[in-house]
Amino acid sequence: MAIARQWLFSLKAFAAAMLALYIALALGLPRPYWAMATVYFVSHPLTGATRSKAAYRVAGTVLGATAAVATVPQLVNMPIVLMGAISLWIVGLVYLSMLQRTPRSYVFLLAAYTLPIVALPAVSQPAGIFDIAVARIEEIVIGIVCAGLVGAIVFPAKVAPALRARAATWLADAAAWATDIMSGDPHASASRHRLAADILALDQLITQLSYDTESANTLRHARALRERMTMLMPLLSSLASVLEALRKHPDGMPAPLAQALAATSGWLKGRATAPAQRAAGGSASHGPRGGHHAALAATAWSQLGKLAEHWDACVALQQGIGDRPDSPRRPLPQVEAQPARAHHHDHGMLLFGACSTGLAVFCAGLIWIFSGWEDGAGAVAVASIACCFFATIEEPRPVAYSFLRWSTVCLLVSSFYLFLVVPNAQSFETLTGMLALPYLGIGMLIARPGFNLIAMLLSVNTASFANIQSVYDANFLATFNGSLATAAAMLFAPVWAMATRPFGARVAARRLIRASWQDLAQAATRRAADAHTRLGGRMFDRLGQLVPRLAASDDKLSSDGFVELQVGYCALALQQALPSLPLPARKAVRRVLSVVARHFRARLRAGHVIAAPAELTAWIDEALRQVAAVPGGARREMLDALVVLQVTLHPGAPS
């Protein structure tokens, strides 16, 4: 079924590309192949994603072309200054594009490399810059409109079913992790990294959902589901730490709790009905006489109850996404907090990537200027596109090798079409049949995860190398010179990326971990009390960024981000409840938070993980005694947070 959907998408993309090429040829545009290549730039198997990319790509193209019209007439007689202005433009726009996590990033990325695409070929004829800019906008807009029309009319693929299926897969993986935790499987933590990465991938689908023809209720369900799923991650992680501490305790796992874990595990796997309210949990007390074992058991009961509540809400919300007449309509659960609204940006790394890209384009421009190469302007324009794509890649070496291999394939295939196939195309129908073989394959690559960059390269290079125009002209020397310029540009971009960014994901992962320690030090102070929602969201967002970098890095880091996530949520819960405590309990909790803050500041100074101070356990015990004596039900959250903090920072420590 997946192969059938990929073929359907490939056929739709090819039909849209041929329609765009036909219109561009009929209008006599100078580079009609840009309209064809644009279709593959904006096409996506989901209709909403195509719409979101298309709208912002039009805006980015217009912005970049406008900048070219304003820049070239003023600086055409100062080529080095012109290249400096183009480079600064690219630095600023690439940086802004990397700050965005939504389709709005296309505005800045397209504007970044549209300026050199329009401006540099016009240096030899600056009086025609306006006509060149208009032609480029027309070519790209034709491709975008054709892709959007064909995607919306011919078997449109809605985002909601894909989001619902993706969420169901995530919940199944989360259920497997939860059951491994409850059964004491030593490999339970192996799947949590995948969950953290997959939940952030859902953000893209939810963003695309807003561009689809869905109701506001569907979008509200999707966003509420995203928040509930976010809450499950620290909850499952802290439950794992508490259960591990219970199993290591001399008194072991209480029998009622073990039965409740088994029942909950069966419920999560769908083999049992929802667990009843756990009255047995009341026998485990957080009180002053309960002791460490009783505190662990009471926290486990509490975490188990929260898990059941959040899980039931996630299932209800997942079933409520999209038009499901066969599923029962359940009320939308309330979401108390929205911790995923904030984002973490490593501005230092983003600026480095943007500046490296701008400097690469400037150096390529200097080579063109001082060499006097007639076709060098086209090479610099192509290099700017490739460098903008490499700006977002932290491990350029493996991508660069693949980039170069596929560039060679593009050159060979396009030369074959240019000299042997296109001359025999006496009609547009014949040309369409000849182009079907390579472009149907390109469409299949776009529909497959991990091949998008390669597909973009193939679509643009195959079209530009083949040089499809209304009048056939295959001057071998001119074609060879142009192909050589493009090949040089394709070689320059990956070589520059490998030379200027040799450190890869390892440095980025270490910087993320240090940023987590800095946020934890702030979360444990009173200054962070008014910003827990943004701080919690930033910590989870950072975890999602850290997971793929840990997988890409060969450096064995001493932290995987989940410890920091648990500590952060505990510190924020304590900060939130502080104002409601009486003075003795408030002082005890503040003392604990102060020690936690000093500990993570010490980690920042040391630059690596160090053990928590030994006195932290004693201060946590004192805080537990003080908070346990406070009447009312609000104390449960603080007691749970203190216990989780203890087993996370001092696992196995006697109490």
Q: What is the pLDDT of residues 70-105, one digit of tens each?
A: 998 888 889 899 999 999 999 999 999 998 877 888
Q: pLDDT band at 185, cuts 50/70/90?
A: confident
Give the mean pLDDT of 429-448.
80
Res 81: pLDDT: 93
Q: What is the DSSP letter of 375?
A: T
Give the mean pLDDT of 591-608.
88
Note whether 513 and 493 are same-domain residues.
no
The listed range with the strongest mean pLDDT (225-229, 283-287, 465-469) is 225-229
Res 282: pLDDT: 42
Give the mean pLDDT of 290-305.
85
Q: Which of 477, 500, 523 is the last residue of a domain?
A: 500
Total Cβ atoms within 10 A of residue 183:
12
In sequence order, the 6+-apart residues with CB closer than 8 A to the CB of 42 are 50, 53, 54, 57, 143, 144, 147, 148
Note whether 350 and 395 are same-domain residues.
yes
Residue 25 has which token pair?
């040829």
Res 584: pLDDT: 87
Give the mean pLDDT of 395-410.
78
* In contact, 655 and 646? CB cutoff 8 Å: yes
Helices (runs of H) and strands (runs of E) counted in the chain: 23, 0
Tell which wins on pLDDT, 398 or 653. Answer: 398
Res 357: pLDDT: 93
Note whether 95 and 61 are same-domain residues.
yes
* 528 pLDDT higher than 60: no
* 561 pLDDT higher than 80: no
Residues of the domain holding 578? 505-649
Q: Which of 464, 483, 500 is the last residue of a domain?
A: 500
Q: pLDDT band at 356, cuts 50/70/90?
A: very high
Q: Secondary structure of the chain: what % helix, strand, coil (to 5)?
A: 75, 0, 25
Note whether 241 and 308 are same-domain residues.
yes
513 in any annotated domain: yes
Res 366: pLDDT: 92
Note whether 490 and 349 are same-domain residues.
yes
* 549 pLDDT higher than 90: no
Q: pLDDT band at 351, cuts 50/70/90?
A: very high
200 in any annotated domain: yes
Give the mean pLDDT of 160-170.
85
328 in any annotated domain: no
Single out the residue of 514, 212, 488 nearest to residue 348, CA to CA.
Answer: 514
Note whether 111 and 260 are same-domain residues.
no
Res 343: pLDDT: 79
Note whether 169 and 311 are same-domain residues.
yes
Three state DSSP letters for 111-127: HHHHHHHHHHHHCCCHH
Per residue in 102-152, pLDDT tens? 788 889 998 999 999 888 888 877 888 888 889 888 988 899 889 888 988
The listed range with the strongest mean pLDDT (236-250, 332-346, 390-404, 491-505) is 236-250
Backbone angles phi, psi at 7, to 5 degrees: -65, -40
As for how many domains the chain has, the answer is: 3
Per residue in 314-330, pLDDT tens? 888 888 786 554 444 55
Q: pLDDT band at 345, cuts 50/70/90?
A: confident
* 45 pLDDT higher than 90: no
Res 526: pLDDT: 58
Collapsed DSSP state (helix, strand, coil) of residue 220: helix
Q: How far is CA 497 from CA 272, 357, 365, 465, 493, in A?
A: 54, 8, 16, 24, 6
H/E run at residue 415: helix 396-416
**Measured between alpha carbons, how far is 375 from 273 in angstroms, rounded to an integer?**
71
In sequence order, the 6+-apart residues with CB closer than 8 A to the CB of 60 are 106, 107, 108, 109, 110, 111, 114
Res 280: pLDDT: 38
Note whether 553 and 582 are same-domain residues.
yes
Cβ-in-10-Å burial (0-12, 13-18, 19+) of 294 comes to middle
Angle at 46 between CA 160 and CA 548, to 5 degrees: 90
Q: Which of 500, 524, 553 is the last residue of a domain?
A: 500
Total Cβ atoms within 10 A of residue 345:
15
Q: To the nearest whole percent, how much of the chain has pLDDT over 90?
A: 10
Cβ-in-10-Å burial (0-12, 13-18, 19+) of 642 comes to buried
Single out the residue of 122, 140, 141, 143 nearest to residue 131, CA to CA.
Answer: 122
331 in any annotated domain: no
330 in any annotated domain: no
Burial 523-545 (b: 16+ CB within 10 A, else e): bbeeebeeebbebbbbbbbbbbb
Q: To the nearest whole percent, how much of the chain has pLDDT over 70?
A: 80
Q: Among the listed ranges 243-247, 400-404, 421-425, 485-489, which one has the minimum average pLDDT value?
A: 421-425
Res 459: pLDDT: 72
Res 62: pLDDT: 92
* In contact, 630 and 581? CB cutoff 8 Å: yes
Mean pLDDT, rounded, of the chain? 79
Note whether 274 and 356 are same-domain residues.
no
334 in any annotated domain: no
Note whether 485 and 449 are same-domain residues.
yes
Residue 110 has which token pair?
């397209």
518 in any annotated domain: yes
**Measured between alpha carbons, how far is 113 from 108 in angstroms, rounded to an integer?**
9
In sequence order, the 6+-apart residues with CB closer than 8 A to the CB of 532 are 523, 572, 575, 576
Note whether 130 and 16 are same-domain residues.
yes
Res 337: pLDDT: 43
- How far does Cα 281 stand from its chain's mean position? 40
**DSSP per residue over 340-364, as a string?**
TS-----HHHHHHHHHHHHHHHHHH
Burial 487-522 (b: 16+ CB within 10 A, else e): bbbbbbbbebbbebbeebbbbbbbebbbbbbebbbb
**Measured between alpha carbons, how far is 468 from 31 in angstroms, rounded to an integer?**
8
Res 82: pLDDT: 92
Res 284: pLDDT: 45
Res 120: pLDDT: 86
Res 208: pLDDT: 79
106 in any annotated domain: yes
Q: pLDDT band at 335, cuts 50/70/90?
A: very low
Single out the residue of 614, 613, 643 nearest to residue 627, CA to CA.
Answer: 643
Note whether 573 and 539 are same-domain residues.
yes
* 336 pLDDT higher than 50: no
Res 279: pLDDT: 37
